[in-house]
Amino acid sequence: MPSLPNRLTIGQTAARSGVRTSALRYYESLGLIASERTSGDQRRYARETLRRIAVIRAAQLLGLTLREIRVALNELPQGRTPDPNDWQRLSRTWRGSLDQRIADLQALRDRLSGCIGCGCLSLESCALFNPADQAARAGGGGPNLSGGDTTPGGGPRGGTAPERGGEWGG
């Protein structure tokens, strides 16, 4: 089996990682990954970048925002492939957030069965989307009843749709 070159083109990196070239450029613009440029201004990625991309994709599957992922990646060593100890450190950091998300989803699931067909048709009395009439306490504007506002970057996790991976996240 032939070995990989030390530097990969954007196409090679995309093929090996399963991430589109547009996502790689986006990740690079956010500082999640880095490349070097050839004299012809073509990107070349170090082989370690493949592992960083794998970490990004795993974190996205957990529901982390690209902002949260960037913070975590900044804790990884530069210039070498992350090792199992690095991964353990990251996973411990993410565990609390993931546990909270699971608890929130379980609570939502448990309330959902009582909501189907309730016919309340009133945001004021809807126990699922407006428990304890949170909307009234939030005041004017456009509150998002999942915990934040509807302004870009707002909300409980502070991420916009593209930041959460969506179309650009692979």
Would you say residue 29 has pLDDT above 60? yes
Q: What is the pLDDT of residues 60-74, one digit of tens each?
A: 998 889 998 999 888
pLDDT, averaged across the chain: 76
Mean pLDDT highest for which of 8-12, 120-124, 129-133?
8-12
What confidence score (pLDDT) does residue 155 get?
40
Q: Is residue 151 classed exposed, middle or buried when 0-12, 13-18 and 19+ CB atoms within 10 A define those classes?
A: exposed
Q: And the tokens for 34?
A: 């880095």
Decide: 88 and 72 in contact? Cβ < 8 Å.
no
Q: Is residue 139 classed exposed, middle or buried when 0-12, 13-18 and 19+ CB atoms within 10 A define those classes?
A: exposed
When pLDDT is averaged across residues 9-33 and rounded to a whole number, the result is: 96
Percent of the chain with pLDDT over 90: 31
Report which of residues 18 and 151 the model is more confident about: 18
Would you say residue 108 has pLDDT above 60? yes
Q: Of the given ranges (21-25, 33-37, 48-52, 133-137), which has the lowest mean pLDDT? A: 133-137
Q: What is the CATH number of domain 7-164?
A: 1.10.1660.10
When pLDDT is averaged across residues 22-36 and rounded to a whole number, the result is: 95
pLDDT band at 98 (very low <50, low <70, confident <90, very high): confident
* All structural domains of the chain with their residue ranges: 7-164
Q: Of the given ranges (63-72, 91-100, 154-163), which has the lowest mean pLDDT? A: 154-163
Query: pTM to 2 decimals?
Result: 0.61
Q: Rounded to the nearest 5 degrees, what angle is found at the Cα of 166, between the Cα atoms of 163 and 170?
A: 105
